[in-house]
Amino acid sequence: MEDKHTVIGKTIVIKGELEGDEDLIIEGRVEGSIKLNKNLTIMETGVLEADVQTQNTEISGRINGNITVNDKIEITESGRMIGDIKAPRLVIKDGAKFRGNIDMLKIDMGDLKISPKKDAPAEEKKVEPAPVEEVKEEPVAEKEAEAKEEEKPAKEEVKKEEKTEVKSEKKNVGPNIKRKKRK
């Protein structure tokens, strides 16, 4: 038995909603929404500006819209997509372009077994705020004057150290050391 599929040709432009139970191949342009129980293939010449819901999707052309896929989505080397993807399996080939969000989470809620322990009551802890210290601000002029006063002794100490070094250098040259005369 031959698989049924529909082809939207290169020169065809469709605006509106598409729904079906067979594979769809898009070579032309579609604007609107697509809901398929089968597979969607967007060829290199295909342009899709629509939200899509399908079983599987392969993108070789361009799409601007959100896609929800039950099984797998594949963006080929020539594929370009702007939009969000919801699919349990995703293939993005080297060279493909994609901008959007990806949600690959497919959860059977029956499998989740995360719940709080029923035996242990929830503890309530009271958190008291930390004490706040008052900060007294001094006028800016007073702070600047204090900073200048602190700088003065430091400068005087540097001058004293320089004088001490000069004196100690002079002590090394004494009467016992002969100086060479230059000719």
Rounded Cα distance, 24 and 43, in Å: 11
Do 74 and 147 lie in a common domain? no
Do 65 and 13 lie in a common domain? yes
pLDDT in tens, 69-127: 999 999 999 999 999 999 999 999 999 999 999 998 764 544 544 444 455 455 555 55
Do 65 and 141 lie in a common domain? no
Contact at 8 Å (CB) between 28 and 7?
no
181 inside domain: no
129 inside domain: no
Do 145 and 88 lie in a common domain? no
- pLDDT class for 19, splitting at 50, 70, 90? very high
Do 9 and 99 lie in a common domain? yes
177 inside domain: no
67 inside domain: yes
- If one counts the domains in the chain, the total is 2
In this prediction the pTM is 0.57
124 inside domain: no
Q: Write down the pLDDT at residue 109.
A: 44
59 inside domain: yes
Do 20 and 83 lie in a common domain? yes
Q: What is the mean pLDDT of the chain?
A: 77
What domain range includes position 31? 5-103
- Paired strand residues for 23: 5
Higher pLDDT, 52 or 155: 52
Q: Write down the pLDDT at residue 119.
A: 52
Rounded Cα distance, 79 and 104, in Å: 19
83 inside domain: yes
Do 24 and 84 lie in a common domain? yes
From 56, 88, 103, the end of a domain falls on 103
CB atoms within 10 A of CB 90: 16
Helices (H), 28-107: none
Do 72 and 162 lie in a common domain? no
Do 85 and 35 lie in a common domain? yes
178 inside domain: no
Rounded Cα distance, 120 and 97, in Å: 51
Do 49 and 93 lie in a common domain? yes
* Percent above pLDDT 70 for the chain: 56
Higher pLDDT, 114 or 154: 154
- Beta strand spans in 10-66 (E): 13-20, 23-26, 29-36, 39-42, 47-59, 62-64
Do 158 and 83 lie in a common domain? no
Q: Is the pLDDT of residue 151 over 70?
A: no
- pLDDT class for 4, splitting at 50, 70, 90? confident
